[in-house]
Chains A and B, each alone.
Chain A
Amino acid sequence: MKPLQIPVEHQTLPNGLRVVVAPDSAAPVVTVGVYYKIGFRLEPQGRSGFAHLFEHMMFQGSENAAKMQHIKLINSSGGVLNGSTMYDVTNYYEAVPSNALERVLWLEADRMRALKVDDENLRNQRDVVKEEVRVNVMNQPYGGFPWLDMPPVAFRNWANAHNFYGDFADLDAASLADVQTFFRTYYIPNNAVLLILGDLSASDGFALAEKHFANIPAGPPPKFADPTEPKQSEERRGDVVEKFGTLPAMAIGYVMPRRRTPDWCAMGLLDQALHGGRAGRMYRELVLEKQVAVEADGGIDDIFGYNGPTQMTTRILHKPEITSDVTLAEFDAVVGEIREKGITEAELEQLKVKWRSDYFNTLEGGRGGYMPRYGLMHLLACFTLFDGEPQLVNSILDGFLEVSKEQVQDVARGYLKPENRAIVFRKPSAVSQEAA
């Protein structure tokens, strides 16, 4: 087995901005990311969807780059860009030919320094975001299933339980003042990490970071709301109407252990045992063997990138002639078997080989292939913001490869139990089908 030795260096600027450089000259391309430690989980109450709407605003104009300039300058340098809002972080990233590196850093620094947006920009992006919600959720079969359906059923703390895409009334209520307050509170260098990957030297990376970012003033450390959940004592259930889809669906989510604990590593391999493609027990039993389901997949969403309550979730679309009770009973049989009998040494070995292989894919891939090393960037960012240790990209795998089969069974027993889970049933309204 070849050991993993990704070159990673990091420094912190006097204003608190952390800078991580991962040089790799294989191709004349650099990937740049800026991650802010604020996601939709901790956005302000009464402003559901705001973290995401705000992400859109970051493309609407900054101190020295008016609306359109940012996008135009990246595209016309031969690069691509985007941003995304997650539970606990929001990122902005670019991949460009390496000769455009300084231009990208200048642009990212410019919008970290000051946002220059007006009411017209806000109205425009509010409309764009509403169409985004319609195209991804409201006008799609199984839109938002289960990622938007599950939180209000599973969680009690508003931080974890609210609509992350945002209620339209909340989006409408968002003002320019909210935008500037949010910016001043969270978009400060001491709440961010800058990542530069690819065709550059570490010393050049740090020098350029210093040149463009060092004079951005730090802000008071943000006060984050507490995302802790009250202890759950019984199974939780909820129903959601499926407006377009033809098949009944359900999602079962179990609350995960804390990151970077031995249980967390064991859950990673348990996830692989249950949801590892067609060899995974869920697909094998529910789709291939018992044939109650048409789809059975799921798992831990972004295992390295969450920093608060989260779940391992199984997503099932089942045959219409099979009741949800029968489907759930078959699901429970799969869970019951692994709780009672655990897994064999041979299965564990397979899981580890696949886990290692998937990890390498994560490093290189992501975002549909147009963003080289998105995955490595994401891991470096999360390990820096949550753990202060970007070097974990080289060692995090070890903990997973040390898990024993007894630990896998222990976490199956400890976490896969009714009082640790929530179930969402997505039921077709059938009306549209009969009409068609």
Chain B
Amino acid sequence: MATQVSRTLSLVPDLAKEREVRWPQRSQSRLANGLEVILVESRTIPKFHGELFFRSGNAAAAERAVSLAEMTATMVRTGTARSTSRQIEERLRGVGADLSVSAGQDTTAISFAGLSDHAEPLLQLVSELAREASFPAAEFARERRQKLEEVKLERTQPGFLAGERLRKVLFEKHPYALVSPTEDQVAAYRVDQLQTVYSDFYTPQNAILLLVGDFEAAKMQTEIEQVFGSWSGRKPIAQDWPVPPAPKGRRVYLVHVPGAVQAQILCGCHAITRQHPDWIKLGLTNSLYGGAFNSRLVMNIREDKGYTYSPRSAVNPLRHYGYFSVSAAVRNEVVAASLTEIFYEIDKLRSLAVPESELLDAQNYLTGVFSMGLATQSGLLSQISTLALNELPADYLETYRQKVRALTPGDVLSAARVYFDSADMQIVVVGDREQIESQAALFGELEIYDARGSRLP
């Protein structure tokens, strides 16, 4: 077998000399009102893609109500001092633009893309939404009702239920535990709460405007100053929350969905944020474990055993805390077998140094995929957004590849030992308890919940 493999591999063409990866110039400035502006020229298509980020999201409003920043974001496009909802939508269409307003735990974003030859009117509209949203009462009543149906619907999705339970388990009393509101919480939203979030969060001192696309940066800068220069507003006061303790000891949380024909597994433990010095090391370790197609987890439970279609692992960085997670939707009969393999691969990475050749493959993968972002406007925007929102060093893009290449098997071993916290991993399984309860219970003390989050006996 060994000789056959080597004969085969000799046919594979070698890699040619690598072309230099050169990240484009970023023009970075701060307007007098505090708005941070980052511009990047990219002429792949006659369009531009942009984000107006605010450094506050649902977590910053958690004391007032769950997911309040998100409800506020939903309302922003439904009316301004100058335009009705319908006028806003038709203006967008008339300039060929797409726009969405959304909020996550740490950030609110007005995301947009439009034609370069219609840039100015789109920027005007973005500015209008950021400064003059009017929260019409009728629109609010409708959007709140929509939201009510959405939160009912998401409780029927296995992926949502798994994610929600894991976040509750990992972050308990911290706002990061709150993924989505209950129906009662939605019903209790008031328009004045949204207006307060809007006036607190949507300010130039709290914002970053990022544009990538087919424009001349200097001209665009002038246009931005004209459109956004007269905006004013202070940075909101950031609130501190007690540090959420990392759960100790494996426990199993079964979310019971009667009639489920498959089990959604999601395991997780506390990890780190993007600003942590070990971030790149952990990224490489995750890539070896289950972050790529050619990873140990995928090769094991998909390509060898056929338990699942889409197993994967991820390091999920929120601004203040991060967590490591492993997910797989598996057939009911192999819940225990899948968990066994998930932990086997974790424990193996914690016990044995990875072979040099496997490490090299993973390093090549990460460094190669990192540069894919260069090829498209949206890819560049996403890379540069990550940089800006996480306040990463200015040379992060330029130095990332050499940092990945410098890592050793010892680095991976230590990252796995510290961050793949096998003994304290929390296990969520969403499925029909009749089918999977006894298998799940093999892995730790079991708690069972229904889809609405009530504990079942």
Contact = CB atoms under 8 A, between A and B. Distances in A.
A81 B302 contact: no
Interface string B350-384: 00000000001110111111011011111100100
Contacts of A199: 19
Contact of A27 (B97, B115, B150, B375): B375
Contact of A78 (B47, B93, B149, B364): B364
Interface string B291-306: 0111000010011111
A24 B116 CA distance: 20
Given A1-B117, A77-B364, A139-B260, A372 B149 contact: no
Interface in A226-249: 243-247
B309 A131 contact: yes
A140 B305 CA distance: 23
B309 A247 contact: no
A134 B149 contact: no
B242 interface: no
A64 B16 contact: no
A361 B372 contact: no
Interface in A127-154: 127-132, 134-135, 138-141
B329 interface: yes
Nearest to B298: A71
B430 to A, nearest CB: 9
- Most A Cβ at <10 Å: residue of B46, B374, B376: B376
A16 to B, nearest CB: 24
Contacts of A288: 85-86, 142
Nearest to A24: B44
A364 B377 contact: yes
Contact of A141 (B157, B292, B452): B157
B18 interface: yes
Interface string A116-135: 00000001111111111011
Contacts of A66: 5, 8
B219 to A, nearest CB: 16
A141 B125 CA distance: 36
Given A138-B262, A245-B156, A372-B375, A357 B13 contact: no
B361 A75 contact: yes
A350 B149 contact: no
A276 B382 CA distance: 25
A432 B259 contact: yes
Nearest to A139: B262
B376 A373 contact: yes
A131 B156 contact: no
B451 interface: yes
A106 B9 CA distance: 12
A68 B293 CA distance: 10
B140 to A, nearest CB: 13
B400 to A, nearest CB: 13
A90 interface: no
B375 A103 contact: no
Contacts of A95: 372, 375
A135 B310 contact: yes
A29 interface: yes
Contacts of A29: 371-372, 374-375
A78 B44 contact: no
Q: What DSSP secondary structure best describes chain B's contact surface?
A: mixed
B403 to A, nearest CB: 15
Interface in B423-445: none
A77 B85 CA distance: 49
A132 B309 contact: yes
Given A356-B115, A361-B113, A436-B452, A131 B376 contact: no
A396 B362 CA distance: 41
A29 B92 CA distance: 33
Contact of A294 (B149, B366, B371): B149
A365 B98 contact: no
B150 A81 contact: no
B152 A246 contact: yes
Contact of A364 (B5, B85, B117, B378): B378
Contacts of A219: none
Contact of A139 (B142, B158, B310): B158
B372 A436 contact: no
Contacts of B262: 131, 134-135, 138-139
Chain B interface residue number, banded? 35 or more
A284 B85 CA distance: 10
Contact of B331 (A97, A134, A276): A134
Nearest to A362: B45
Contacts of B382: 369
A100 B45 contact: no
A317 B156 CA distance: 15
A141 B156 contact: yes
Given A103-B13, A279-B89, A246 B367 contact: no
A141 B329 contact: no
Given A65-B8, A350-B90, A353-B118, A127 B306 contact: yes
A130 B452 contact: no
B299 A68 contact: yes
A103 B15 contact: yes
B150 A294 contact: yes
Contacts of A357: 47, 96-98, 113-115
Contacts of B377: 364
A345 interface: no
B303 A68 contact: yes
A354 interface: yes
Contact of B302 (A24, A75, A103, A128): A128
B302 to A, nearest CB: 6
Interface in B314-333: 329-331
A364 B113 CA distance: 13
A167 to B, nearest CB: 15
A301 interface: no
A71 B294 CA distance: 6
A97 B18 contact: yes
A162 to B, nearest CB: 21
B159 to A, nearest CB: 9
B292 A75 contact: yes
A184 interface: no
Interface string B7-42: 010011111111111000000000000000000001
Interface of B: 5, 8, 11-21, 42-47, 77, 85-86, 89-90, 92-98, 113-118, 142, 145-146, 149-150, 152-153, 155-158, 257-262, 264, 292-294, 299, 302-310, 329-331, 360-362, 364-369, 371-372, 374-379, 382, 450-452
16 contacts: A24-B44, A26-B43, A71-B294, A72-B361, A76-B360, A76-B364, A78-B367, A97-B368, A126-B306, A131-B307, A131-B331, A199-B19, A284-B89, A294-B146, A350-B93, A351-B93
Sorted from nearest, which 3 A-B pairs have the closest CB atoms?
Answer: A78-B368, A357-B96, A127-B306
Interface of A: 1-2, 24, 26-29, 64-69, 71-81, 95-103, 106, 123-132, 134-135, 138-141, 198-199, 243-247, 276-279, 284, 287-288, 291, 294, 317, 319, 349-351, 353-354, 356-358, 360-361, 363-365, 369-370, 372-373, 432, 435-436
Given A26-B375, A132-B309, 15 more contacts: A76-B360, A76-B364, A78-B368, A124-B305, A127-B306, A131-B329, A134-B329, A135-B309, A244-B156, A277-B98, A278-B89, A294-B149, A353-B118, A436-B258, A436-B450
